[in-house]
Structure 1
């Protein structure tokens, strides 16, 4: 008889977290030896991971909204305590948003571990099973990359079951990064060049994330080795974009149009909500969370929770097509077409007279439910434009002319204009001269600003703030001059989130707590 602390029990693709005293032939537990016999069984375990990632507790709402609120671009219109803590950078150790996405992250990781361990019991050629197992390695790296950037040192588990006598403590961030790199390198070896859906990782996705990992590890330094590795991985993707079937989409709006995104070459890895509404809160809620309160579109409009700070709109050049795509400055409310200066006509206490995020509620697709609470969106976790900007940032000190070429390629797409909506009406925005190409030497600040505009409201800005330590000088994004004004609660300790107090109570080995909490 053995006693195990199980982090996940895989049963028909669903995960259950808990503890069990396991006798021989336990009822209700599918052991790896008994369940995994074919490549399809490995894929079933991998699919459980995808389910966790699109869950409301992860990218469907909690994780994505927390990342938006912690940035300098998204303010809060509602008054829920856990969201106010995120927005004001006064997060406590019992924050309910963390209490959702922390365990959900580990459930996803545990499903990956099940797939990887189970694959050893499948007696087929490596060429048949390893490309499936490589999905699990990629997804495990993806999840740990989120965790280590948010919490620093975190428990690192790479097996589906831990003996009860074992202690689970926090692995140093450097060790977690080493493991992330190893997983991505395995994925590069075995993933295919292209896949039937951008929601299935490809070799390009692994190279792209490895580039971002190295850029993140370089942090706010000019570490030549790490920047060189980031550049090499990003340039590999750029130089082989035809092989990987990648390119910038001709119309920026297509990236946020659920009816067109499947045909786009720009997404490299995406989370796919197309026709999915699970019983475990699996559906997408970013559209209503960021939508205009009282908007007639989508049978009731949005919930007016996460909204751009007004300065985000007023300081963004009006001739940059990306502003028109990224924010709504007009809407139909109660049958009346109104500008953003009159959005409070809806009468709701959370409505604000300022532009709203439009990337998610404008074209939610055929599957959209009331308030677009479920959508057909494919959310790009990394896309080709970001790879160009990674390469630009990583090459500033070694090949500044090439950095300028890459950043200007992104800006050139923005100048093309395209087909979007304004106040709920379809409009065509023509090409114009802005944003103009950069000339002269490119700086880190140039790339960070381009990332802010190109990737606005995509859950990326907070990570840029952390890795470049932008809260203080010289960027001072949380000062009175910042887009949201001063966030008085900010200190350098806020670059990391706290480990939940209830997690430490259950397992004191998670101490020490992150500084400042």
Structure 2
């Protein structure tokens, strides 16, 4: 989907007015545009629909979204360059957090664009079939954004009407009301979206089904979660796990059979909202996928090393917990498919020749024996109790590395974000079957994922028996499969295990996290702006 600049009224909910949105998708750029002239032509209305998609890029592939969806869990700790340590460690996490404010504004602005489209589509002049499809897309997206809102902040404001001016009151809406609307919108999307699309990035009926399985898991409706997950698995939609887990992260393999739903970025960086004050106001001048910057250890100051395309630009934001590194058995290809331990000399120095090992940062305990390279083993990286000892050197998550960038210093990446992979659908089905008491079925779905993950000749070692499938096991399996993929915080929240698993597996955070951290604080800027401050109050536990 292509992008241009166009003006479109899309005021954000409550007091956050988004104003004139630019950098929307599709090639339509008439002069003298107002919301009325845009909304009442099919060509103009397409820009609204595409704008509704664009807001996904505020969360998926952005540092703020990674911080809110992966950090503050059992899997990640702060690297030396962590820009949002309050989200990683819960230290002084309050409503003035800039990442929380940016995502709140973006998600509510996105909802308002969806509401505007849903309310105005009848006057857009579409033929009936296309009108139904575009309406279903907007309703999916509204549900998608509201799911992120309600899971992140709980019972906050919900509206189904377009807001075209400043609104000074906000209403605390019950979580159940959010989910009733989310379910209604997603069922409509399932019924009216096509099964496939030639326009990569648009939502399809199986993607809506897959997301609905996630939503039903969130609400404890395990039968429905199982039914919708298996409808994708057995629906003959053309999805299949790729044979090699590591190949998922090849820049040449972004559009593969495992991707059920993705947020797409453009190889033309000018189309990725790099400096747009509306669609990318986050202040980083990085409009594309930023994941490639965030998980890399500080390798470029090591002897024999300099920054290059293959190894990435190390922002050194996040590092794995020792627990995460230990989750993978030697039979599991996902460790090598997910993490990079060795850096090879690209800047010869002294006895280190080009291609020699320069750095070995490993999860293993290794006794140094006079190697010419620098060794950072588990006992160097972590203290005996698992707390961090070195925030600079550690195994690097390789999933987002992008050697197709223009230069070693380029902060933009055209990598798409896999929002839903088929592997998640299998594990959703497994979790639902576990909760329904069907351990044989739960093990069956888990073992499909683990079979793909097994190294050559080691499939039998990777199989699990029904009695081994517990909620803890499934959460471990989801960690092995989805580490760093912007879903972990939601997994722990959904299963009511956030406090427990941080307490057991993230000793840097365990002394700080509390029950109330299962929702984020409402932005203070929002609370200051509304007139009914005695009714719309901060979430419990925050100041």
Report the CA distance between 1:509 and its aligned residue: 3.7
Q: 1:474-489 to 2 correspondence within 5 Å?
A: 476-479=500-503, 481-489=504-512
Indicate conservation of the 8 Å contact 1:35/1:41, yes or no: yes
2:159 aligns with 157
Q: Distance in 2 between matches of 1:6 and 1:106?
A: 8
Give the 3 Å change call, closer, same or farther, for CA 30–376 of structure 1 in structure 2. same
- Tell me, what secondary structure is at the counterpart of 1:106? helix
Alignment partners' CA distance in 1, 2:119 and 2:390: 48
Alignment partners' CA distance in 2, 1:175 and 1:391: 25
Which residue is 2:89 aligned to?
A: 88
TM-score relative to the length of structure 1: 0.83
1:137–1:184 Cα contact (<8 Å) kept = yes
Distance 1:129 1:350, change over 3 A: farther
**CA displacement, residues 315-363 of structure 1 (integer Å, 9 cap, x when unaligned):** 422331101111111123663632116478xxxx9862321211111xx
Judged with a 3 Å threshold, the aligned counterparts in structure 2 of structure 1 residues 391 and 86 are, in CA distance, closer, same or farther, namely same
Residue in 2 that maps onto 1:49: 52
Residue 403 (structure 1) aligned to one of 431, 442, 446 = 442
Task: Give the Cα separation in 2 of the matches to 1:375 and 1:294.
Answer: 20
Match runs of 1:22-421 below 5 Å:
30-31=34-35, 33-55=36-58, 59-78=61-80, 83-90=84-91, 91-161=93-163, 167-218=169-220, 226-240=221-235, 242=236, 244-262=237-255, 264-277=256-269, 278=273, 279-280=275-276, 281-295=286-300, 296-298=307-309, 301-332=313-344, 335=347, 337=357, 338-340=359-361, 342=374, 352-361=392-401, 364=402, 366-367=404-405, 369-371=407-409, 373-396=411-434, 397-415=436-454, 417=455
CA distance in 1 between partners of 2:399 and 2:473 (Å): 23
Counterparts of 1:253 and 1:321 in 2: how far apart (Å)? 8
CA-CA distance at 1:65 after TM superposition: 2.6
Task: Check if 1:432 corresponds to 2:479.
Answer: no
User: For 2:257 and 2:23, how far apart are their aligned partners in 1?
Assistant: 30
Q: CA deviation at 1:367?
A: 4.3
Q: How does 1:451-490 map to 2 (within 5 A)?
A: 451-472=478-499, 476-479=500-503, 481-490=504-513
Post-superposition offset of 1:43: 2.1
Give the secondary structure class of the aligned counterpart of 1:311: helix
Q: Secondary structure at the match of 1:156?
A: coil
CA distance in structure 1 between the aligned counterparts of 2:133 and 2:146, rounded to whole angstroms: 20
**What's the C-alpha RMSD, in Å, of the aligned pairs?**
2.8
Report the Cα offset of residue 117 of structure 1. Answer: 2.6
2:167, 2:334 → 1: CA distance? 54
- Shift of the 407–245 alpha-carbon distance from structure 1 to 2, 3 Å rule, reads same
**SS, match of residue 115 in structure 1:** helix
Q: Could you give the per-residue CA deviations for residues 466-489 of structure 1, whole angstroms, max 9, x where no partner exists?
A: 1112134xxx3222x414455211
SS at match of 1:273: coil
Shift in CA distance, 455/58, structure 1 to aligned 2, threshold 3 Å: closer
Unaligned stretches of 5+ in structure 2? 1-10, 26-30, 277-285, 301-306, 348-355, 363-373, 377-388
Deviation at 1:166, TM superposition (A): 7.1
Cα 1:314–1:448 change in 2 (3 A) is closer
The residue that corresponds to 2:519 in the other structure is 496
1:314 deviation in Å? Answer: 3.5
Give how far 1:204 is off: 0.5
CA shift for structure 1 position 260: 0.8
**Aligned-residue offset at 1:212:** 0.6
Q: For the residues of structure 2 that align with 1:255 and 1:301, how far apart are their CA atoms? A: 21
Contact 1:12–1:44 (Cα < 8 Å) also in 2? no
> What SS does the corresponding residue of 1:370 show, helix, strand or coil?
coil
Distance 1:368 1:183 in 2: 41
Quick one: structure 1 residues 7 and 301, their matched pair in 2 at CA, closer, same or farther if it must change by over 3 Å? closer
CA distances 1:27-60 after superposition (whole Å, capped 9, x unpaired): 98723x32223333232112112322224x6632
Report which of the two has the higher share of strand. Answer: 1
Whole-Å separation in 1 of the counterparts to 2:165 and 2:299? 53
Which ranges of structure 1 fall in alignment gaps of 5 or more residues?
16-26, 219-225, 418-429
Instruction: Judge conservation of contact 2:298–2:393 (CA < 8 Å) in 1.
Output: no
Task: Supply the distance in 2 between the matched residues of 1:284 and 1:514 (Cα, whole angstroms).
Answer: 31
Pick 1 or 2: higher relative contact order, CA cutoff 8 A, min separation 6: 2
Instruction: Determine if contact 1:10/1:114 at 8 Å carries over to the other structure.
Output: no
User: Take 1:267 and 1:282, find their aligned partners in 2: how far apart are those partners?
Assistant: 22
